[in-house]
Amino acid sequence: MIPSPVYLDAATAAPLHPVARQALLAALDDGWADPARLYWAARRARQLLDAAREATAETLGVRPDELSFTPSGTSAAHTAVLGGLLGRRRTGGALVHSTIEHSAVLHAAEHHVARGGTAVEVPVDRLGRLDLTAWSTAVAGPGVALAALIAASHEVGTVQPVEAAATACADAGVPLYVDAAQVVGRVPVPAGWSVLTASARKWGGPPGVGLLVVRKGTRWESPWPADERESGRTPGTLNLPAVVAAAASLRAAAADAAAQAARLSPLVDRIRTRVAAEVPDVEVVGDPERRLPHLVTFSCLYVDGEALLHALDRRGFAVSSGSSCTSSTLRPSHVLEAMGVLSHGNVRVSLHSGSTEADVDRFLAELPQIVADLRAQAGVVGL
Amino acid sequence: MTTPDEVLDCLGQRCPLPVIALARRLPELPVGAVIRVLADDPAAAVDIPAWCRMRNQEFLGAAPAPGPAYDVRRVR
Ligand SMILES: Cc1ncc(COP(=O)(O)O)c(C=O)c1O
């Protein structure tokens, strides 16, 4: 019997929200023209874009002119970091960031360093929580142009003390950039930031839409060649139908977010408890309390992460992993590394509005045997 | 600097193999013995200390050059 598919990788991409699908189809008909032109089809597209921007800004609690749509969460993160550094280059060339930022932020940091800038990494503890003392010292250091902090870890779910970190930044006069990809549309966005980014595919919008918010008064300059679209912050023609779908689904996801969090968080607790109790030699990682409602990560001792993903896939379960064998670079996840937790045999489960209690229970029922079989095959039972 | 009682060559092996080799060999050594694991898989730097923590064995740290190596003392 072919097992029914259970998709548990919402932190990479949530299944398309029905509202997104509807909006996308409608906008394919009405939103194909260039919103900057001066004829009827363009005006229709312009109305769609303006409405999408207003709705999204309202959900985020920002002004529409502070918000730009980008081609992805990754490009939004690159633009946020490089633009924040460029805008304050006269203050200095240092970027402060946590060790658990998304690779998009880390790659922007590397790009900055390769061009003569500096980067200061701030560590986290074993649960993946920012070291606030080290953060406060780092942002008060000389020549800090920008500080970057992920709102909540995409790999282990630990929610970061963004507001305390923002206070330290404000005291030092340093703008804070927050990568909010895993919180927008799911939990309230913390306050205190100057620049914020998100990604539509994380909340059930289509892939290929990011958000970039630059608060009024922030010293920020586009790092890209000039382009007048999106307030000059991010170049290129927008995929307007996708933007419209992203905006519609964000509104729907945000309206339902508290109910979904209340439903999914106990399921995550159930996974945390039962995996720890029923799978021998497993390390459930991340903060058990200050965490995202929909995401949990664990590592199984002596198990090959890639083999585990394949075995789960054969049973219909789609999950992701931070183990080195599953990455193209063959390096373990820098997040697990920064936390000092086991990196092999790693599984990240992330739930979405379509995830049911029955899905989670079937996963929990099958996982112990799948892990036991892999350990038996590898001859590591009893080690 | 500790002189290891034994050297376990896991060069070229991918994780979790170096950790498995360590878990097999350490209990065969007397309590107090130090084993040096040579492992160039980058995950070993994370997973060998994590294994020591989970198994209550003592991680002595990355051994001095040449090559990536990790010292572990059997304490129980
Ligand atoms: C925290 C975080 N930041 C940024 C991104 C990048 O977003 P996108 O996949 O839209 O490029 C992701 C998702 O991969 C993420 O989880």
pLDDT at B64 over 80: no
pLDDT at A201 over 80: yes
**So what's the ipTM on this one?**
0.95
Domains in chain A: ranges and CATH:
6-14+257-378 (3.90.1150.10), 18-252 (3.40.640.10)
Report domain extents, chain B: 6-60
pLDDT at A330 over 80: no
List, as own/partner pairs, every contact residues A355-358 make where C-beta atoms lie below 8 angstroms and the sequence separation is at least 24, other chains included.
Answer: A355/A7, A355/A8, A355/A10, A355/A264, A355/A267, A355/A294, A357/A267
If you average pLDDT over residues A190-207, what whole number do you get? 98
The pLDDT tens digits for A13-33 are 999 999 999 999 999 999 999
Residue having the nearest C-alpha atom to atom 7 of ligand 1: A73
pLDDT at A249 over 90: yes
Distances (CA, A) of A39 to A109, A242, B30: 43, 22, 84
Instruction: Tell me if residue A300 is catalytic.
Output: no
- Tokens (6 digits) for B39: 């492992």
Per-residue pLDDT band for B1 (boundaries 50, 70, 90) equals low
Distance A157 CA to ligand 1 centre (A): 14
Beta bridge partners of A349: A296
CA-based R_g, chain B, Å: 11
pLDDT at B65 over 80: no
pTM for this entry:
0.96
Q: Which residues line ligand 1 at a C-beta cut-off of 6 Å? A: A 72-74, 77, 102, 104, 150, 154, 179, 181-182, 199, 201, 210
Sheet holding B6-9, edge to edge: B6-9, B34-38, B69-73, B58-62
Q: With beta carbons under 8 A apart, name residues in chain A contacting B54.
A: 281, 283, 301, 342
> Which chain A residue has its CA at the smallest distance from B26's CA?
A383
- The CATH number of B6-60, from 3.40.30.10, 3.90.1150.10, 3.30.110.40, 3.40.367.20, is 3.30.110.40
Ligand 1 atom closest to A208 (CA)? 10
The pLDDT tens digits for A277-301 are 999 999 999 999 999 999 999 999 9
Distance A88 CA to ligand 1 centre (A): 25
